[in-house]
Amino acid sequence: MDWVDALPNLLLLQFPSTLMWMLLGSAVALSGGLRASLGAWPLRRGLLLGSLGVLGAWLYARGMVATDGLTQLIGVWALVALGPALSGAYIWLMARAEQQPQAPAFLRPLAQAGRMSLTLYLSQSLICALLFTGYGLGWVGQLTLAQTLGAAGLVYGLQLAGARWWLARHPTGPLEALMQRWLSRPLPPSP
């Protein structure tokens, strides 16, 4: 599939869905209520949430290697429908870990990544598109699972190092600063 074939999916499904979830997540994070409520959830509920998210990721992965359109479509819609459950499970896990008397050291770099999540998400999407799609290196289907996981780990590790470097010099990520300026602008007066 080349980029011309993928463009309708990107413009009509992935971009609006991602933007909606990012803006909703920003509003919820600013309210502060989600962290406290998810952190109080029992282990069983957090594991159920995570299981739904993993199911969505698995269906998406199956759909991306399928040759029939229906399985591919089910994979994309599973990601859209169940992806937020996986995000919620990550938030739940971090909220639970944060409530411990001594927060684990591994959370520090993740906290920095969280301060520039929009920048990292979009840069990760661009990097992975350039690595795996036909308009990049075309590695999709060419690498083993271990190589793919290694590439993903390397990309994320470099992003964590980049986030640490950036945040040592700036209060927030570059795209987060732009979004903050955009969201803090006063609304135009009503006619």
Conformational region of residue 4, where left means phi above 0, alpha means psi within -120 to 50, and beta covers everything else = alpha
Q: What is the mean pLDDT of residues 39-54?
A: 78
pLDDT at 180: 81
Q: Beta-carbon neighbour count of residue 10 at 10 Å?
A: 14
pLDDT at 159: 94
Where are the alpha helices (H) located in the chain, listed in sequence order?
Answer: 3-9, 15-31, 33-39, 43-65, 69-98, 107-114, 117-132, 145-167, 174-183
Distances in whole angstroms, Cα of residue 152 to Cα of each of 7, 22, 55, 186 = 23, 21, 19, 40
Would you say residue 2 has pLDDT above 60? no
Query: And the tokens for 23?
Result: 């803006």
| pLDDT tens, position by position, 127-181 | 988 888 877 888 888 888 788 889 989 999 999 999 999 999 998 899 988 888 8
Residue 3's pLDDT band, with cuts at 50, 70 and 90, is: low
Q: What is the mean pLDDT of residues 25-29?
A: 68
- Say which residue, 158 or 77, is predicted with more confidence: 158
Whole-number percent of the chain with pLDDT over 90: 13
Give first-to-last CA distance, the chain, whole Å. 47
pLDDT at 125: 87
Q: What is the mean pLDDT of residues 26-41?
A: 66
